[in-house]
Structure 1
Amino acid sequence: MDRLRRDPLYQKFLKELRTMLVSRDNQICLEFAFWKSRPPVALGGIYEMRTYVLKPGNLLEWETNWRKGLECRQQFCEPVGAWFSQLGKLNYVHHMWNYPDLETRKKTREQAWKVDGWAETVYNTVRLIEHMEANILLPMEFSSLK
């Protein structure tokens, strides 16, 4: 870290970056014990990062329901990982999926609705959520996920 502080190129980068930032948040997250992080089955494609802000006190209930739901989704797609916030903004859950393209993502999500248990999982978890967002991410040229 001290080496970075003395690097003139890094210092120049920070100075320029600060003019572009409006705000910044940090979280320290832990992975769920039932949902271990792993490299994607295939590199490249797109990544979907889904983020849920849970109503306070509902993390364990969300986890219990999602254990069942994950079995439904895994029939069609392997997750990259799932994490919950431990420090910073609390009551956040993030999970990431890898797909070859947006069309495959759409079909995979449609197939999950045909599996017994998926609708029940959604019903049981949606009431625990205050806010949700889904972001499509593309790996950069230097990414090991490219």
Structure 2
Amino acid sequence: MQYDVTLITIRPATAGKAMAKLAETAPAAPGKLLACWQSEIGNLNQILLIREHASAQAAADYRQGIVESEDPYGVGEWTNSSESDTYAVLPFLKPLQPGTYGPFFEVRTYLLKPGKAASTIERWKEALPARLERSPLLTCMNSVSGRQTRFLHIWPYPSLDKRYEVRQGAIKDGIWPPKGGGENTLWDQRSDIYVPAPFSPIK
């Protein structure tokens, strides 16, 4: 199973129009739509789409179709830019499933230094059980196309206050983040808060 993660940057004040169109086009596109979210905190005017594909070839075919289409989702008139890449869920985690988890999703994207992906995955495997006692993880994936040192993890929270409470507590108690990372592993970090569209299967 592989997942396409598409990030669409739209012009300010056009989110309502773009989301209305995506409600029609996103579920009908190839693959299985899992998420359609809009950024609330961080980089604004972003729409994040996550689609599931049954194989690497299906994911590649989908991305090729995106490249060849002039307007794959019908929101071109409101779009400033878009990017799309394929990810694989870490081998010890379950596939993504539709359901209600949020309504706030923290999407954290790390750019790893060369050669650090394997050790990062192992550190996460060791540290994650203790962290999951505090709050759930929706998924953690590494990129298998484009810039292949990207590490994407998504944390759902019922409120922003709960996010702060959980994160601060995990840091204070020394269970998170996994030890051995930081400047030894990372080139860059990015974090944004998203909220789901009404038609998003994951919300």
Class of the TM-score when normalised by the shorter of the 2 chains = 0.7 to 0.9
Question: In the alignment, what sits opposite 1:125?
Answer: 181
> Contact (CA 8 Å) 2:107, 2:152: kept in 1 or not?
yes
- The one-letter amino acid paired with 2:191 is A
Between 1 and 2, higher relative CO (CA 8 Å, sep ≥ 6) is seen in 1
> Contact (CA 8 Å) 2:143, 2:149: kept in 1 or not?
yes
What secondary structure, in the 3-state scheme, does the structure 2 residue paired with 1:98 have? strand
- The one-letter amino acid paired with 1:135 is D
> Contact (CA 8 Å) 2:88, 2:144: kept in 1 or not?
yes
Question: In the alignment, what sits opposite 1:137?
Answer: 194
Question: In the alignment, what sits opposite 1:22?
Answer: 80
Q: Could you say which structure has the higher strand fraction?
A: 2
State the TM-score, normalizing by the size of structure 1: 0.78
Q: Does 2:139 align with 1:61? A: no
- The one-letter amino acid paired with 2:198 is E
Unmatched tracts of structure 1, length 5 or more: 5-10
State the TM-score, normalizing by the size of structure 2: 0.58
- The one-letter amino acid paired with 1:144 is P
What secondary structure, in the 3-state scheme, does the structure 2 residue paired with 1:143 have? coil
> Contact (CA 8 Å) 1:36, 1:82: kept in 2 or not?
no
Question: In the alignment, what sits opposite 2:90?
Answer: 32
The change in CA–CA distance for 1:15 and 1:104 in structure 2 (over 3 A counts) is closer
Equivalents in 1 of 2:191, 2:73: separation in Å? 31
Deviations 1:26-69 (A, max 9, x none): 21111101222344885342011111000111100111111122
The change in CA–CA distance for 1:39 and 1:112 in structure 2 (over 3 A counts) is farther
RMSD: 2.9
Aligned length: 136
Answer with 1 or 2: which has the greater Rg. 1
Equivalents in 1 of 2:107, 2:138: separation in Å? 10
